[in-house]
Amino acid sequence: MNEQKTGTLFTEGRAEAVPSCNYLTFTAEEDNASFSIVNQTRKLPDLQYSLDKGVTWNAMKKNSPIVLKNKGDCAWLKGYNPEGFSKDIKKAFTSFVLTGRIAASGSVMSLIDGKGEAKVIPNDFCFARLFLHCAGLTQAPELPA
């Protein structure tokens, strides 16, 4: 996987890490919001998350919630899935499960190329049901392709 770098943004006198890539980002809009992933197949797509602005990356595991403890906490997500994140709408799709209120930003294409730069969706069902039943999703991410 490619090493990702961050830049620095100075906001109101504070330095913040800014990704050089357009990662799918989940931001908690309330304390203790969480996200996890469910998959209808045996093999999960490649999906990694960072809670520390890209310093460390961890593989997401099926049905293992990642908790965003405080309002404003965020997670960057990426993966390398050049054939698509989901393959089929009936039995080979992957969905996020959100608990609490979470805003999504950045590009879902970071789940395909690890950077959010891809412009072509690899298959017809690539993002099918990605946010199925996510009533706590307060903002949708970009789909630039």
pLDDT tens digit string along 3-34? Answer: 444 444 444 555 455 557 999 999 999 999 99
pLDDT tens digit string along 85-138? Answer: 888 777 778 999 999 999 999 999 999 999 999 999 999 999 989 999 999 999
Q: Which long-range contacts (CB under 8 A, 24 or more apart) does 50-55 make?
A: 50/75, 50/76, 51/75, 53/6, 53/16, 53/17, 53/19, 54/4, 54/5, 54/6, 54/17, 54/19, 54/23
pLDDT at 16: 55
- The SS3 assignment for 110 reads helix
Is the pLDDT confidence value at 64 over 80? yes
Query: Which pTM value belongs to this model?
Result: 0.84
Domain boundaries, the chain: 6-139
For the chain, the first-to-last Cα distance in angstroms comes to: 22
